[in-house]
Amino acid sequence: MPMTRTIFISDNDPVLHDALVTALRDRNLQETTRVRKTSIFGLSTYSSLMKVFPENVMFANFAASDIADMVDSDFAPNKFSYKDETLPFVGTGPVPFYHKQYRIVLRNCGVINPESIEDYIGRQGYKALAKILSSMSQEQVIEEMKASGLRGRGGAGFPTWMKWNFSRQVEAAEKCIVCNADEGDPGAYMDRAVLEGDPHSVLEGMAIAGFAAGAQRGYVYCRAEYPLAIERVERAISDAEKAGLLGDNILGTGFSFHIELRLGAGAFVCGEETALIASIEGNRGMPRPRPPFPAVKGLWGMPTVINNVETLANVPYIFLKGGAHYAKIGTEKSKGTKVFALTGKVKHSGLVEVPMGTTLREIVYDVGGGILKNRKIKAVQTGGPSGGVIAEQYLDTPISYESLSELGSIMGSGGMIVMDETDCVVDISKFYLQFTVDESCGKCSPCRIGGVQLLSLLNKISRGEGENEDIAKLKQISKAMQVASLCGLGQTSSNPVVSTLRYFADEYAAHVDHKKCPAGKCRALIKFMIDPEKCRGCGLCARRCPVKCITGESKKPHVIDQSQCIKCGECFSACKFKSVTRD
């Protein structure tokens, strides 16, 4: 009997998969329905997701106990589902999360089994590599990349073709390609998602880069905290070698390219190219001065091209569709799409891939569904610890490398954290500074000492001990770090401070001059009081108080003992009559 339906189900819960297989078998439908495990639909708001073809219906928020009813209803849209009339990887249908997305990097995520090379080949996988090896020269490959306008998606935005060409022009016995999968930004998981959901696209991109640069060796440098990504990359390498798509004499063309996996220990600084190289070589991950740049002299002295996961995943698509086609997407100077990990105070979080030039407002409201609890948006932070905080009045800025830089932020690898009116910019800056202080390798003084000084000043301000001269010190130290630090970590780690001082000077002034935290986040500056005229004496606040500092008789106004209050806010959250105030 011919196959009539394919169901892709998220692989994060094997119980759901087994329940689906059982339900189909019990109804004798296993011969006409193919069940495929897959990864990363993108929408992370829901723990369970399933997409049914050819109906193209997405089901969300279902349990194993719901599956039998879904099968009996012949997968008709119901309360668990969204109707998705989009193409598999273009996303222009009515589902809000996918409405403005254009999937290139994520084109196969959610519609293939990432552990099946056959599924990848069925989606034109390795076709670009075969085309290049059979009919193109190195120069032609690089010209096509130049025409595409692809820039590095790891943060700096360096033209990809130029980096490949630098290595191609160097005379050397050996060259290599390194995939930088050392993703460490708080809230970012783009690279992990691609390696888990579509590992072969990255391997194919590496092989194409290897051909263009004249390299025969490749390394995937992935942090050890990504066990599933590591497992799938290892399997993908093995399967591609068995199929003759990696290794010696690929497809009988005489071109050989071998890929190995190298694990990082989770040091954020190893995302920097020269620190990454040191780590692969078995040394402590610390940056070195440049030049020479890795493309000329990198790993073990070899010319080394380093591209991140997202950059490489774009490459096969470019050669399938053509560089000119890719260049039509995006803006004049920032071509193609960008993947963001949309998190924070947004209703629908997840992986978002949109054309360059999409505005921050479109991502937050049209894709992300707006702010949780319908609160007022305060800012959007892009670029992780190295990025900046962009104020609400700039939400209509089209996203590009240049526009974000002008606003005091960076594209980075793609972290995007949305903040609302309950977030404090001093607290946000402290969070990112604490991260970069912890992750500094300590090699250069501006980063090692400057970061600690910035964090100390921010802590002082959040305790209500700040002085006006501390603001000047924050600016002075930040500038020194930007100019004198050895690598990108130190040069950009003050960006959250600089950007929040730029857009939220009044909030810093409230902390320093008035000893107030407008967002109510800095505990030392908060005072909870009970309004005796509104208090009904229900006692709920007293029961919720973890230190029992609230007293009062039943049906009479209660009082908070300020000397014992730890300012946790439980009373404020518990009160149904809004009698607890926060000052």
pLDDT digits (tens, 9 = 90+) for 230-239: 999 999 999 9
- pLDDT-derived band at 2 (thresholds 50, 70, 90) equals low
Q: Six-digit token pair at 317?
A: 């698509």
Measured CA distances, 10 to 57, 110, 580 (Å): 14, 8, 44
Indicate the class that CATH gives domain 337-416. Answer: alpha beta
pLDDT digits 0-9 by tens, 486-510: 998 899 999 999 999 999 999 999 9
pLDDT score at 560: 95
- pLDDT-derived band at 86 (thresholds 50, 70, 90) equals very low
Strand 258-264 relative to strand 217-223, pairing: parallel
Evaluate if residue 517 carries a pLDDT over 90. yes
pLDDT digits 0-9 by tens, 386-405: 899 999 999 999 999 999 99
| Amino acid at position 14, single letter | P
Evaluate if residue 92 carries a pLDDT over 70. no
Evaluate if residue 324 carries a pLDDT over 70. yes
- pLDDT-derived band at 80 (thresholds 50, 70, 90) equals low
> Does domain 527-582 bear CATH number 3.30.70.20?
yes
Evaluate if residue 380 carries a pLDDT over 90. yes
Q: What is the CATH number of domain 118-326?
A: 3.40.50.11540
5-84 and 527-582 in the same fold = no
Measured CA distances, 432 to 26, 185, 189, 348, 438 (Å): 53, 10, 17, 23, 10
Superfamily of domain 5-84: Glutaredoxin (3.40.30.10)
Average pLDDT of the residues in 295-324: 97
pLDDT score at 39: 80
pLDDT score at 46: 72
The CA-based angle 84-88-129, given to 5 degrees, is 170
Q: Contact, 201 vs 40, CB < 8 A?
A: no
pLDDT digits 0-9 by tens, 138-180: 999 999 999 999 999 987 789 999 999 999 999 999 999 999 9
Q: Helix H segments across 516-562?
A: 540-544
pLDDT score at 85: 46
Average pLDDT of the residues in 129-137: 98
CA distance 65 to 79: 14
Q: Contact, 151 vs 136, CB < 8 A?
A: no
Q: What is the mean pLDDT of the chain?
A: 92
The structural domains of the chain, with segments of one domain joined by +, span 5-84, 118-326, 337-416, 425-513, 527-582
Q: Contact, 389 vs 496, CB < 8 A?
A: yes
Phi first, then psi, for residue 415 (nearest 5°) are -70, 140
Residue 245 carries which DSSP code? S
* Closest residue by Cα to residue 107 from 131, 84, 129, 124: 124
* Closest residue by Cα to residue 425 from 508, 342, 360: 508
* Residue 43 or residue 557, greater confidence: 557
Q: Six-digit token pair at 184?
A: 């460490």
Buried b (16+ CB within 10 A) or exposed e, 194-208: bbbbbbbbbbbbbbb
State the residue for tokens 């973890």.
546
pLDDT score at 497: 97
pLDDT score at 89: 28
Evaluate if residue 94 carries a pLDDT over 70. no
Q: Six-digit token pair at 377?
A: 């948006």
Residue 415 forms beta bridges with which residues? 341
> Does domain 425-513 bear CATH number 3.50.50.60?
no
Average pLDDT of the residues in 425-429: 96
Percent of the chain predicted with pLDDT > 70: 96
Average pLDDT of the residues in 287-296: 92
Evaluate if residue 90 carries a pLDDT over 80. no
Evaluate if residue 412 carries a pLDDT over 60. yes
Residue 51 forms beta bridges with which residues? 8, 58
- pLDDT-derived band at 1 (thresholds 50, 70, 90) equals very low
Strand 217-223 relative to strand 304-308, pairing: unpaired
